[in-house]
Amino acid sequence: MGDSRSHGPARLTDNSGLPEVLSVDTVVCARCLSWPSQAADWPIRHRNYDWPDSATVDRVASNGCDMVQVAHRQCKQDEWTGKCQWRLSFSRAEIVLLNSWMPVQQIVYDMLRFFMKTNRLIDSADNSERFLVSNYHIKTLMLWAAELKPRSWWTESLNLVRICVELLHTLSVCLTDTYCPQYFINNCNLLDNSLRVGMVASKLTLIDEAYLSTWLVNNYIGKCAQLCSDYIPQLFDYANNITKLENLVTAIVEFRLNVSLSDLWDIVKCAQLNIVASISNCSVTAKSCARWINELTKFHVGPLLSEYCSAVVYLHVSYKISRDGFNENLIMF
127 and 213 assigned to the same domain: yes
* Residue at 84 is within a domain: yes
User: According to the per-residue pLDDT averaged within each range, which of 32-36, 118-122, 289-293 is highest?
Assistant: 32-36
Please determine, for residue 223, whether its predicted confidence score (pLDDT) is greater than 50: yes
Torsion region of 68: left, alpha or beta (phi above 0 gives left; psi -120 to 50 gives alpha): beta
* 8 pLDDT higher than 80: no
Of 92, 127, 146, the residue that ends a domain is 92
For residue 178, with 0-12 CB atoms within 10 Å meaning exposed, 13-18 middle and 19 or more buried, which class applies? middle
Strand partners, 181: 189
Helix, strand, coil in percent for the chain, rounding step 5: 60, 5, 40
Residues 213 and 114 in one domain: yes
Q: Are residues 81 and 10 in the same domain?
A: yes
Q: Tell me which long-range contacts 162-168 makes (C-beta under 8 A, separation of at least 24).
A: 162/209, 163/104, 163/108, 164/108, 164/111, 164/112, 164/115, 164/212, 165/207, 165/208, 165/209, 165/212, 167/108, 167/112, 167/141, 167/142, 168/112, 168/115, 168/204, 168/207, 168/212
Question: 5: domain range?
Answer: 1-92
- Where among 226, 244, 266 does a domain terminate? 226
Q: What is the pLDDT of residue 256?
A: 76
Nearest CA to 219 out of 106, 120, 133 is that of 120
pLDDT of residue 127: 46
Q: pLDDT band for 1, please (50, 70, 90 cuts).
A: very low
Number of domains in the chain: 2
Kindly state whether residues 43 and 74 are assigned to the same domain: yes
The pLDDT of residue 7: 41
Residue 327 has pLDDT above 70, yes or no: no
What was the pLDDT predicted at 20? 42
For residues 225-233, average pLDDT: 81
> Of the candidates 192, 226, 260, which is a domain's last residue?
226
pLDDT value of residue 283: 67
Residue 82 placed within a domain: yes
Please report whether residue 278 resides in a domain.
no
Residue 10's pLDDT is what? 37
Q: At what angle do helices 286-296 and 302-324 cross, to 10 degrees?
A: 160
Q: Per the domain annotation, does 6 fall within a domain?
A: yes
What's the pTM?
0.69
pLDDT-derived band at 29 (thresholds 50, 70, 90) equals confident
**88 three-state secondary structure:** strand
pLDDT at residue 128 tops 60: no
Contact 162, 110 (CB under 8 A): no
Q: What is the mean pLDDT of the chain?
A: 79
Query: Rg of the chain's alpha carbons, rounded to an integer?
Result: 23
Does residue 82 register a pLDDT over 70? no
For 9, 51, 134, 271, the CA distances from 77, given in Å and listed in that order, are 26, 39, 19, 38
